[in-house]
Amino acid sequence: MATYNLTAPLTKEDTKKLKAGDVVYLSGVLYTARDAAHKRLVELLEKGEELPFPIEGSVIYFVGPTPPKPGDPIGSAGPTTSYRMDSYSPTMLKHGSLGMIGKGKRNQAVKDACVKYGGIYFGATGGAGALLGKKIKEAEVIAYPELGPEAVRRIVVEDFPVTVINDTYGNDLYEMGREQFEVKE
């Protein structure tokens, strides 16, 4: 397993070199969206309309951050359980997004879409939202402010730590871990 420093938006050259278990320190621009925002974003894509951000190479962080303390760009920003985005993620990948950040496992359709479209599912450490929030240097709501914490934000991150869970080759770190420690009779 390797360690990489990458800048978002990502390219397919970036995603093709990553393998499940690799550690990545992301810098650059990410977008935040949870299930309510994903529903709206996918509806726009299905109508052939543009998203409120450039989707090509984008990395979407599944997060609903807390309000910032005075002088901070964002509050605690821990990952949301990702399966709630499973019905939307294949469409996002099909239209050019290349990365997703959350916690927990994904369904087979998402894993298949990662292989087909060159996408990566990254895991961020749940319970470390205060620490992850410190890696966010800028944050601004760019769409759906009425969703409150679930509004779409453009965030700028520096050395944001994630682990590759599902890669472009169909590997799944959670399954690999189970196989490694499975009791053989």
Residues 21-66: tens digit of each pLDDT: 999 999 999 999 999 999 999 999 999 999 999 999 999 999 999 9
Confidence of residue 178 (pLDDT cuts 50, 70, 90): confident
Structure tokens at 52: 């409120």
Q: Model-level pTM?
A: 0.94
Dihedrals φ, ψ of 71, to 5°? Answer: 90, -15
95 is catalytic: no
DSSP states of 12-30 as a string? HHHHHT--TT-EEEEEEEE
Percent of the chain with pLDDT over 70: 98
Q: Report in angstroms the alpha-carbon separations of 76 from 90, 99, 128, 147, 159.
A: 28, 21, 8, 17, 16
**How far out from the chain centre does Cα 21 lie?**
15
Nearest to 6 by CA among 159, 123, 168, 139: 159
Query: Locate tokens 């916690």: which residue?
Result: 103
Mean pLDDT, range 125-146, rounded to an integer: 94
Instruction: Report how far residue 39's alpha carbon sits from residue 51's, in angstroms, rounded to the nearest whole number.
Output: 12
Domains of the chain: 3-181 (3.20.130.10)
List the catalytic residue out of 9, 29, 37, 38: 38
Structure tokens at 145: 């402010």
pLDDT at 180: 79
Structure tokens at 58: 């984008």
14-18, 32-36, 66-70, 154-158: least confident range: 66-70
Percent of the chain with pLDDT over 90: 91
Instruction: Report how far residue 6's alpha carbon sits from residue 59's, in angstroms, rounded to the nearest whole number.
Output: 11
pLDDT at 126: 84
